Amino acid sequence: MQWIIGFIITFVIVLAYISLYNGLVEALSWVREAWIQVEVQLEKRNDLVPKLIETIKDYTKQEHETFTQVIQLRNKLQQFPVENQLEKMHVSNQLSESIKTVFALSESYSNLKNNEKFKELQEELATTENKLAYSRQLYNSSVTSYNIKLQALPSNLIAKLHGFKEIELLETPPEDRIIPKISF
């Protein structure tokens, strides 16, 4: 009788161990999948940038410095290794700001504002930026869920035993947290 009780207890412990380990693996897989979604949106935006610059450069020849900066940031973003997520997002944020500058410059050129191709690219970039923001949010939610499993008992014991590491969240840059002042 005692061996049956011992077997049942051992079986329950092994099942719990497997379940906790699989939960950690699953959470980490969701984090990786969420990062891939961020990468997809970054790549889509990177593909749109040269089209945008090509469309507007004839209209705005004196804005060469701004366009050069946008292209340099785009190229820099494509050179980051996959595992360098935080630095990649920092450069991505800089590129987003540069694209906003390009759109602001376009307001000075009425011919450009009426250009259908420019309007389409502007709309597509805005949509991509929104999808990128959503992808970042999904990534951060997945990372938070994973990190909670790393800290909560008893899964934290399994995580330490198997070398699972905490993952950093993608943070909003300080300049994006500033509330713009509007005066009438």
pLDDT digits 0-9 by tens, 153-162:
999 999 999 9
Tokens of 44: 């889509």
Instruction: Write down the pLDDT at residue 147.
Output: 96
How far out from the chain centre does Cα 41 lie?
8
Tokens of 99: 């694209």
Q: Which residues contact 86 (CB under 8 A, 6 or more apart)?
A: 168, 170
Class (C level, CATH) for 24-170:
mainly alpha
CB 128 within 8 A of CB 44: yes
Tokens of 139: 């990534």
Instruction: Write down the pLDDT at residue 179.
Output: 52
DSSP 80-125: S-TT-HHHHHHHHHHHHHHHHHHHHHHTT-HHHHT-HHHHHHHHHH
User: Which residue in the block uniquely carries the two structure tokens 């020849």?
Assistant: 61
pTM for this predicted structure: 0.77
Residue pLDDT tens, the chain, 184 long: 889 999 999 999 999 999 999 999 999 999 999 999 999 998 998 888 888 888 777 666 666 777 778 888 888 877 877 677 878 888 888 888 888 877 777 777 777 777 788 888 888 988 998 999 999 999 999 999 999 999 999 999 999 999 999 999 987 666 555 554 444 3
Domain ranges within the chain, ordered by starting residue: 24-170
